[in-house]
Amino acid sequence: MRLRADASLQPDVIVIGGGGSGLAAAIEAASVGRRVLLLEKAPRLGGTTAWSVGSISATLSPQQIACGIMDTPHDHFEDMPKFAAHLKGTDNDDLRRILTSEVPTTLRWLMALGVEFFGPMPEPPHRRPRMHNVVPNSRAYIAICARRARRLGVDIRVDVRATGFIVEGGRVRGVRASLKSGESVEYRASGAVVLASGDYSASPELKREFISPAAATIEPVNVYSTGDGHRMATDVGATVINGHLAHIGVRFIPPPRSSIAESLPAFRPLARLIRIAMQRLPMALLRPFLMKFLVTVLEPAPNLFAAGAVLIASNGELVADWNDDRIAALGAVDDHRGFILFNNAIANAFESWPNYISTAPGLAYAYLSDYRRNRADLFHSAPTLEAVAAQLGIPGNAIRASVDAVNAKREGAGDRAPKPLSAGPFYLLGPAKLLITFTDGGLAVDTSHRVLDAGGAPIPGLYAAGSTGQGGLLLEGHGHHLGWAFTSGRLAGRNAALESVSPPR
């Protein structure tokens, strides 16, 4: 293998990863005059940040103030653990204090760059509405931050995968990487390196090591989340905290790519127009339009199952009845894929609030007609069970046997079970897949976002942000992961810049 030192580049700060935390780090380091090199292994920027729904929970926002909401970072600090009571993980109070104190600045920082938000939306047990949703979708974060980074002179290189660190005299001095051509290169930094390489939901090895052998078989949402940064850092002495925590769920597959959803997020006047329309027009009018921007994997609402819908496998067998553990049941199916089956009575009930098919928190509730109109790839219906199954190549006799068994059980259960699935038309929504949306194990870091070794001492020259630098912080509830990605990215980028030894440009 050839190893070439890329001496044409003399960055002060190297950022690994071009998602939310990496772009924030690059912008902050470049804003104080440092030369920044950002390496992204995918062919384009975005990471899991571009897959997200896009909410950020924050206090003291202009949106809260405009609504007369009196809120404080301290109340936010106190409310966050209420979301995590069910988790068997350690929390990091120091990092939670940083998040809740700094995320108000982060939200305004993003708005100053040109990101538009709708909200704040309530999300109990937050004691006040704090959820701010990006408009029109999370690709706006990437488009707007990338534009800013380029304007500040950040050297952004895609298709470059960081593979290890150059360590000399106990200090991280640079990064080894491989190019698309297979060539290996070395990049040296006069200052420091910021790891912002996301999580390890796409690494079977790390999932097996930290979570479970079963988790290792579950597909990720983002195939680039291979935990490279976790591995690179542990190779030089770092440790992972809360490695066993991950978000696993049943989600509809994403929609086919749409040019409108891809290209418009960077266009601020449009985002502003949508935000104003959302404040003034009835949601019923806007929903069909907003649905076009929901480019991510949406989660079927638990209410649909509570009403009596069931999960069916591609071969027609029953995967999960209304009250079964759907995650465990779909985990036992070979391809982890299923279809949600229900009949006319349930369909009619899922056309209006509070019965929605899925939600993008705070942005849009999608009802059955929204799926019929905007997600034809997922929506299937026919007067009979056999006819709807035939549309998907599901054997009619197998699905009939599954529904007969479900109905027999329900008839014997009296009022405790939903009504039998007898009268058509019948509906199949899907495929829905068992997916790992993200993992929560992050490198141990200090309050300056320096990566710590097993003894708790900072590894000189190495910072981490976002999922990679989560440091044992529990981020349950909506809008805390992105809040952490942009906040820790900003702060790690700034601190890394201050380690630079060359004079500012």
Ligand X SMILES: Cc1cc2nc3c(=O)[nH]c(=O)nc-3n(C[C@H](O)[C@H](O)[C@H](O)COP(=O)(O)OP(=O)(O)OC[C@H]3O[C@@H](n4cnc5c(N)ncnc54)[C@H](O)[C@@H]3O)c2cc1C
Residue 438 near ligand X by CB under 6 A:
yes
Q: Which of 34, 139, 326, 481 binds ligand X (CB under 6 A)?
A: 481
Minimum separation from the CB atom of position 118 to ligand X (A): 12
Count of C-beta atoms within a 10 Å radius of residue 247: 15
Minimum separation from the CB atom of position 215 to ligand X (A): 15
Proportion of the chain in helix, strand, coil states, percent, rounded to 5: 35, 25, 40
Residue 296 near ligand X by CB under 6 A:
yes
Structure tokens at 263: 């290209």
Write the DSSP string, 162-175. Answer: EEEEEEETTEEEEE
Q: Which stretch binds ligand X (CB under 6 A): 93-101, 207-215, 343-351, 476-484?
A: 476-484
Q: Name the residue type at position 324.
A: D
Residue 441 near ligand X by CB under 6 A:
no
Q: Which of 48, 61, 92, 358 binds ligand X (CB under 6 A)?
A: 48
Helices (H), 82-176: 93-113, 139-151
| 176 secondary structure, DSSP code | E
Note whether 9 and 177 are within 8 A (CB). no
| Identity of the residue, 403 or 485, whose beta carbon is nearer to ligand X in the bound complex | 485
Q: What are the φ and ψ backbone dihedral angles of 270, each rounded to 5 degrees?
A: -70, -45
Q: Looking only at residues 130 through 189 of this chain, which bind ligand X when binding is defined by CB under 6 A?
A: 161-162
Q: Which stretch binds ligand X (CB under 6 A): 107-115, 118-126, 216-224, 321-329?
A: 216-224
Structure tokens at 362: 């705070």
C-alpha dihedral sign at 94, 116, 63, 478: negative
Minimum separation from the CB atom of position 103 to ligand X (A): 10
Residues in Cβ contact with 294 at an 8 Å cutoff, skipping those fewer than 6 apart? 137, 255, 360, 363, 364, 366
Q: Name the residue type at position 290.
A: L
| Identity of the residue, 18 or 316, whose beta carbon is nearer to ligand X in the bound complex | 18
Which parts of 264-404 are beta strand (E)? Answer: 299-300, 310-312, 318-320, 337-343, 358-360, 364-366, 379-382
Residues in Cβ contact with 13 at an 8 Å cutoff, skipping those fewer than 6 apart? 25, 26, 29, 34, 35, 36, 37, 189, 191, 192, 193, 194, 493, 496, 497, 500
Q: Which stretch binds ligand X (CB under 6 A): 44-52, 80-88, 325-333, 348-356?
A: 44-52
| Identity of the residue, 342 or 438, whose beta carbon is nearer to ligand X in the bound complex | 438
Structure tokens at 86: 């069910």
Residue 221 near ligand X by CB under 6 A:
yes
Q: Which of 22, 89, 136, 316 binds ligand X (CB under 6 A)?
A: 22
Residue 49 near ligand X by CB under 6 A:
yes
Is the preceding peptide bond at 425 cis, omega within 30 degrees of 0?
yes
Q: Which of 41, 96, 326, 433 binds ligand X (CB under 6 A)?
A: 41
HEC secondary structure over 401-449: HHHHHHHHHHHHHHHHCCCCCCCCCEEEEEEEEEEEEEECCEECECCCC
| Identity of the residue, 426 or 486, whose beta carbon is nearer to ligand X in the bound complex | 486
Q: Which stretch binds ligand X (CB under 6 A): 34-42, 64-72, 326-334, 447-455?
A: 34-42
Q: Which of 478, 493, 495, 496 binds ligand X (CB under 6 A)?
A: 478
Residue 20 near ligand X by CB under 6 A:
yes
Q: Which stretch binds ligand X (CB under 6 A): 26-34, 66-74, 400-408, 481-489?
A: 481-489
Minimum separation from the CB atom of position 198 to ligand X (A): 3
3-state secondary structure of 453: strand
Minimum separation from the CB atom of position 379 to ligand X (A): 20
Residue 479 near ligand X by CB under 6 A:
yes
Residue 329 near ligand X by CB under 6 A:
no
Q: Which stretch binds ligand X (CB under 6 A): 204-212, 280-288, 325-333, 480-488?
A: 480-488
Residue 107 near ligand X by CB under 6 A:
no
| Identity of the residue, 221 or 304, whose beta carbon is nearer to ligand X in the bound complex | 221
Chain contacts with ligand X (rule: CB under 6 A): 16-22, 39-42, 46-49, 51-55, 161-162, 196-198, 221-222, 224-225, 228-229, 296-297, 437-438, 466-467, 478-483, 485
